Amino acid sequence: MTLLLPITTQQNFPPRASVAEPERLISGAPAFKTWALDTSRDGNVRTGMWQATPGITHSIKGNAFEFCHILEGLVKIVENNGETYLFKAGDSFIMKPGFMGTWETIETVKKIYVLVE
C-alpha cells in the first residue's frame, strides 16, 4: 500500500450526484458531483473533487476546516459580515471552522478539497 496519492482531474470512476439540501438552498437549482478520493482511518480527513452548477446556497462549516483549490469555473463567497470574495480557476482558499455565509456558483465550478473535521 502506498502512502502517496496523486490527485488527477480526470477520475476513472463515477461521481456521487446530489443536490442542495432544501434548508441550504437560496436560489437556482445547483447540482453537485463528488469524487471522494481518500478518507483518513478515523474519518476526520477527507479529500476529493467536487463540482457544482450555478446557484446560491448557505455555506456553513461548523467544526470543519476546508482547503479548496479551484480547477475551473467562478464562485462568489460572501461571509455573513459582508466580506465578498471571487475565486476562479487557479485560486486557493481556506474556510475555517465557524465560517458562515453564502456560496454562489456563477459558472460551473470544479474544485479539489481537503476537509478536516
Question: Does residue 22 lie within any of the structural domains?
Answer: yes
Question: Does residue 4 lie within any of the structural domains?
Answer: no
pLDDT band at 36 (very low <50, low <70, confident <90, very high): very high
| Half-sphere CA count of 29, side-chain side, radius 13 A | 0
The string of DSSP letters for 18-79 reads EE--TTTEEEE--EEEEEEEEE-TTS-EEEEEEEE-SEEEEEE-TT-EEEEEEEEEEEEEEE
Residue among 104, 108, 49 nearest 73 (CA): 108
The CATH number given to whatever domain includes residue 104 is 2.60.120.10
Which residues form the domain of 35? 17-116
Distance (Å) of CA 46 to CA 29, 53, 78: 26, 22, 24
Note the pLDDT tens digit of each residue in 40-64: 999 999 999 999 999 999 999 999 9
The domain tally of the chain equals 1
State pTM to two decimals: 0.92
